[in-house]
Amino acid sequence: MALSQPFPNSAQLQADLIALRQWEQRLRYLLLLGRDYPHTDIMRPEFSVFGCEAAVWVNIQADHSNTETRWWFVSHSESRLVAGLLLVLLAPIQGKTRDEVSAFQAADWLQACGLEQQLSPSRNNGLHRVLKTVKSSVCA
């Protein structure tokens, strides 16, 4: 699958989110991310992540062109907020190795971005469900 747009840089995402002091500003930023990085082409059953309130799809792609396999994740949700959150969640592990993906701590990352405290328990659980699915696929 060819990617239509480059992935957002995790350091830039974090800096942007931290610079926004109000939750409403961060929310708007996440909504814009969800709008600006649409990947509706992956809305197929084989990419569905089950256990999330909003419909979520993640296509996990392996790049074997290096000495060590690198992993890429294309995500989408019908909810623009969730789509934006997925981009933030997956940004730090884009192009990483299996060991790097496995070691990734979502709670620490979301906290560093100023998001962990603002997310509802169900939304937090959904993001962790997505990451569990990603890690299970990569580490299988």
pLDDT at 6: 65
Is residue 35 assigned to a domain? yes
Is residue 22 assigned to a domain? yes
Q: What's the domain count of the chain?
A: 1
Is residue 102 assigned to a domain? yes
pLDDT at 3: 44
Please, what sign has the CA dihedral across residues 79, 139, 137, 3?
Answer: positive
Is residue 47 assigned to a domain? yes
Local structure of 55: helix, strand or coil: coil
Q: Which domain holds residue 51?
A: 10-138
Is residue 4 assigned to a domain? no
Which residue numbers in the chain have pLDDT < 50? 1-4
Q: Where are the alpha helices (DSSP H) in the chain?
A: 10-19, 23-36, 80-90, 98-103, 106-112, 121-138
- Report which of 104, 105, 109, 57 is spatially closest to residue 83, judged by C-alpha positions: 57
Q: Kindly report the CATH number assigned to the domain that includes residue 40.
A: 3.90.1010.10
pLDDT at 40: 80
Is residue 95 assigned to a domain? yes
**Residue the block writes with tokens 């909504």:** 31
pTM assigned to the model: 0.91
Is residue 2 assigned to a domain? no
Is residue 36 assigned to a domain? yes
- 107's CB contacts (< 8 A; 6+ apart) are 116, 128
